[in-house]
Amino acid sequence: MIEATRNRIDVHHHLVPPQFAASAERHGLKKVAGAPLPHWTPQRSVDVMDRYGIQTALLSLSAPGVYFGDRDEARDLARACNEFAAETRANHPGRFGSFAVLPMPFTEDACEEAVYALDVLGADGVVLLGSTDGHFLGDNRFDELMAELDRREAIVFVHPNIHPTSEQLPLDIPDFLIEFLCDTTRAATNLILNGTVERYPGIRFILAHAGGFLPYVAWRLSLANELPATIRHAPKGVLHYVRRFYFDTALSPSPFAMAALKELVDPSHILFGSDFPFAPEAAVGMEIKTLDGLSVLDPVTLAGVDRENALKLFPRHAAAVGAADHQSLGARLKSAIAEPIVSAADAIRRR
């Protein structure tokens, strides 16, 4: 039975602001990485959060971000989305935080928006795509932004995008299944090998989807320690920098992924993430049911993943405890009704 009173903090939870939905429609964007662009409202999130024991969700804009080919539009859309997120937080006290979207890949504009979002709007951090317009995080063109975020000891949520090279592959596979994970892995590796993580130690990076393939290939990547460029840019060794990342569990709560991640990093660096609404409600239920049943995570570690680890990064959300405990009778009934749906969906997944 899925517990609905766990006060989880969800660090990977998307919003689709009306301003973004209007821009997506103008540009003919109906899918993101092969998944339909969902209809979303704050109330839809609150309903799902109540059913699955999520106290607070940190909202972020998913791929493709705000850049559709026009710099001015990207700047204006980022501002509109961030102000909408701030309004949503104010209208639902204790239920939402947010990562501000920036008008990447324009470094100067991104710095300006980051300062406004963090200082004026009170965002919890920023969301950066693994790549934008073909440029990966770790590219030197973003150093000014990294320096600004480092000065503020900002938290950066790294979410994947679809790189142009992925779109050229002759594969009839939805991009969210494989290519998203490639984008995160490439970005994280570039952040390490190009020295960004070393030069800007004040930034805390959260990698979506358990870091893509990064935990699985960490040993292989550590072979780069023998290369002169790695000695120069990552002098403490690749694994040291890998272990500085935080990793969310969104769409990655399997015993295989969690066992690898637990062995690689301190368990305090594993955070709960759902990927709602791109992950539909049944998938959220499957994620939580799977996490709760993992033998590789003991109860203390799981409690950390659910909430305590996130509070170390976002302590201001500690005051929100209790809202998810006071569900209406209707919410509890809906949670009970959802249980067999989740079980059926999970049975299909495990075939």
Looking at residue 3, what is its pLDDT? 56
The pLDDT tens digits of the residues spanning 8-37 come to: 999 999 999 999 999 999 999 999 999 999
The CA R_g of the chain, rounded to the nearest whole Å, is 19
The pLDDT tens digits of the residues spanning 252-276 come to: 999 999 999 999 999 999 999 999 9
Looking at residue 116, what is its pLDDT? 98
Is residue 12 classed as helix, strand or coil in its secondary structure? strand
Looking at residue 320, what is its pLDDT? 77
Q: Are strands 131-132 and 125-129 parallel, antiparallel or unpaired?
A: unpaired
Looking at residue 339, what is its pLDDT? 66
Q: DSSP assignment, residue 41?
A: -
Whether the full predicted model's pTM is greater than 0.85, yes or no, is yes
Looking at residue 94, what is its pLDDT? 96
- With CA atoms as reference, report the closest residue to 33 among 160, 190, 220, 198: 160
Neighbour tally for 63: CB within 10 Å? 21
Half-sphere exposure of 226 (CA within 13 A, CB side): 4
Consecutive 10-residue runs of the chain (351 residues): their mean pLDDT?
72 98 97 95 97 97 98 98 98 97 98 98 98 97 98 98 95 95 98 98 98 97 97 98 98 95 97 98 96 95 97 94 52 59 52 55
Domains identified in the chain and CATH numbers: 8-349 (3.20.20.140)
Q: How far apart are CA 37 and CA 48, in angstroms?
A: 18
Looking at residue 351, what is its pLDDT? 55
CB-based burial label for 187 (10 Å; 0-12, 13-18, 19+): buried
3-state SS track over 62-128: CCCCCCCCCHHHHHHHHHHHHHHHHHHHHHCCCCEEEEEECCCCCHHHHHHHHHHHHHCCCCCEEEE
